[in-house]
Copies of this chain bind each other. A is one copy, B any other.
Amino acid sequence: MPLAHIWRHRFKGDGFRWTLTRKAILDLLSRTSKHMSAQEIYDTLLKSYPGIGLSTIYRTLDLLSRMGLVNRLNIGEGKSRYEYRSGEEKAHHHFICTNCGKIIDYSGFLDEELDLVEKIEKNLARKYNFIVKDHNTDFYGLCKNCR
C-alpha cells in the first residue's frame, strides 16, 4: 500500500481532511533525509506549489507532529526542525555537530539501549509515578569536517 493511502486513511480516521498541502509536506519529508525547518519546507514547496502559505506549513507541521507522523527536533538553534517518522524503521539517535549544526541519524545499539531505557522507565514510574511515552538521546560533538 502506497504511503499516500496510509496517510489518507489515518487522516480520515482521525477526522481530519486530506488536502493537497498536507500531502505535499508529507511527500517532501518522507523523501528527504534532511532535517528541515518550517522555512526550508516553505521555500522548497513554493516552487511546485506557488501560493502556499507559511502559516499553513506551521499549522500542518504541528498537526503532523501531534499525529505522530513527524518528529520535531530542537537542537538549540532557536527554531524547530522536522523529520518524517517512519512506521517501519526503529527509532534513531541524532549526532549534532556543535560547530556547523550538521545532524546525522544514527541507529546503532538500539537493542541494548532498549533494555536500559525500560529499566529507567520502570524506575521513573515507581519513584515519581510518571508514565514515560517516549525518549530521545542526542549526541553533541564535532563532525568530520569540523574536528
- Chain A: residues with CB nearer than 8 A to chain B? 72, 74-76, 80, 93, 95, 97-98, 104, 106, 108-109, 112-113, 116, 119-121, 123-124, 127-144, 147
Instruction: Report which of B80, B123, B143 forms a contact with A108, defined as CB distance below 8 A.
Output: B123
Q: Is the interface of A mostly helix, strand, loop or mixed?
A: mixed
Contacts of A143 in B (CB 8 A): 128-130
Q: This chain: how many copies in the complex?
A: 2
Contacts of A139 in B (CB 8 A): 120-121, 124, 130, 132, 134-135
Is A132's CB under 8 angstroms from B95's CB?
A: yes
Is B141's CB under 8 angstroms from A138's CB?
A: no
Is A116's CB under 8 angstroms from B124's CB?
A: no
CA distance A112 to B118 in the complex (A): 12
A45 to chain B, nearest CB (A): 23
Contacts of A140 in B (CB 8 A): 132-136
Is B136's CB under 8 angstroms from A132's CB?
A: no
Instruction: Report which of B106, B124, B138 forms a contact with A95, defined as CB distance below 8 A.
Output: B124
